[in-house]
């Protein structure tokens, strides 16, 4: 075995070189347009969610109860009438998919081939396998980090679902997981990292921007939620930078959320160790 190969592989993951495509945009007008586009997109999507999460965390910190004595729910009822609640839930899911579609459209409209970010159907088996591996890599340690952070008083008790038991609860939670994963991975990884490449950011700088953004809109969960999602962002973002397979990230994220949402809904009254 060539000893250089053992050094090259870790270096390629820690200090990756910028790919040739997409080309760096040098025209000042086009660069300004990309920056304005980024500000608009994230102001109306996950960037605004990050600001709201920060305000939510500040409100929790100012309450007399410690963070571990407070709870926050992710999927909650939005209407008293069951069918109206179902319609509200589906509207929220549609919004998430629309955010993902917006990121894809803007890349395509800007001349970026969607296959270059891995949005294609060329390797479904490999994407599923990678996604399952990513879900295990992040999901299991992530649960441990959450439990430790909650025990230390650094995290609220996160309730993935407080929806009442109904015939549509499980499918809606699965759709919500798919919507969350599509919106987050397309916007925060595929779209944002591609635009930052066009602006000339190094791979590592772009990765940290993406990861901190991902952590920011989970601040409502507490400091453990922030740190855990920054770590997830670093792993997922780096995997995408090295593979350009966005579907694998969506699959991995969706599996984590499906287990959390549906599993919690089924087990919340039967498992005593969940906060």
> What sign does the CA torsion over 181, 186, 192, 197 have?
positive
Give the helix/strand (H/E) hosting 159: strand 157-161
Distance of CA 153 to the CA centre of its chain: 24
The CB-side HSE value for 104 (13 A sphere, CA atoms) comes to 19
d(CA 14, CA 203): 10
Give the helix/strand (H/E) hosting 157: strand 157-161
- H helices present in 67-119, as ranges: 82-109
Q: CA 131 → CA 12, 96, 138, 168, 186, distances in Å? A: 21, 20, 11, 26, 15
Per-residue pLDDT 10s for the chain (275 aa) are 344 444 467 887 888 888 888 999 999 999 999 999 999 999 999 999 999 999 999 999 999 999 999 999 999 999 888 899 999 999 999 999 999 999 999 999 999 999 999 999 899 999 999 999 999 999 999 999 999 999 999 999 999 999 988 999 999 999 999 999 999 999 999 999 999 999 999 999 999 999 999 999 999 999 999 999 999 999 999 999 999 999 999 999 999 999 999 988 877 767 666 66
Residues 178-232: pLDDT tens digits?
999 999 999 999 999 999 999 999 999 999 999 999 999 999 999 999 999 999 9
Residue 199 DSSP label: T
Q: CA 3 → CA 11, 12, 14, 57, distances in Å? A: 13, 15, 18, 49
Give the pLDDT of residue 3. Answer: 41
The CB-side HSE value for 6 (13 A sphere, CA atoms) comes to 3
Long-range contacts: 141-144, Cβ < 8 Å, 24+? 142/228, 142/231, 142/232, 142/256
Residues 107-132: pLDDT tens digits?
999 999 999 999 998 999 999 999 99
d(CA 98, CA 92): 10
CB 154 within 8 A of CB 223: yes
Domain ranges of the chain: 28-268
- H helices present in 110-191, as ranges: 124-151, 169-184
Whose CA is closest to 216, among 37, 45, 52, 44? 52
Give the pLDDT of residue 2. Answer: 43
Give the pLDDT of residue 18. Answer: 87
pTM: 0.93
Let me know the angle formed at the C-alpha of 218 by 217 and 224, rounded to the nearest 5 degrees. 145
CB 244 within 8 A of CB 165: no
């Amino acid at each position: 075995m060539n000893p250089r190969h053992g050094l090259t592989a870790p270096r390629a993951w820690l200090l990756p070189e910028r790919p040739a495509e997409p080309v760096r945009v040098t025209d000042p007008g086009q660069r300004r347009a990309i920056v304005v586009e980024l500000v608009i997109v994230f102001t109306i999507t996950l960037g605004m969610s990050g600001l709201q999460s920060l305000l939510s965390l500040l409100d929790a910190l100012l309450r007399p109860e410690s963070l571990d004595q407070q709870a926050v729910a992710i999927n909650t009822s939005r209407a008293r009438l069951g069918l109206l609640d179902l319609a509200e839930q589906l509207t929220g899911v549609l919004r998430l998919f629309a955010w993902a579609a917006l990121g894809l459209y803007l890349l395509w409209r800007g001349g970026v081939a969607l296959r270059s970010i891995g949005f294609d159907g060329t390797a479904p088996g490999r994407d599923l396998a990678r996604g399952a591996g990513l879900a295990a890599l992040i999901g299991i340690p992530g649960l441990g980090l959450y439990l430790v952070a909650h025990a230390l008083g650094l995290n609220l008790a996160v309730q993935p679902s407080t929806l009442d038991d109904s015939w549509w609860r499980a499918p809606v939670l699965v759709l919500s997981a798919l919507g969350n994963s599509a919106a987050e991975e397309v916007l925060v990884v595929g779209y944002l990292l591609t635009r930052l490449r066009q602006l000339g950011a190094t791979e590592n700088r772009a990765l940290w921007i993406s990861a901190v953004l991902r952590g920011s809109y989970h601040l409502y969960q507490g400091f453990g939620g922030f740190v855990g999602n920054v770590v997830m962002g670093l792993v997922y973002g780096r995997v995408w930078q090295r593979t350009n397979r966005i579907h694998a990230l969506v699959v991995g994220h969706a599996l984590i959320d499906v287990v959390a949402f549906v599993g919690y809904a089924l087990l919340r009254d039967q498992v005593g160790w969940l906060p």
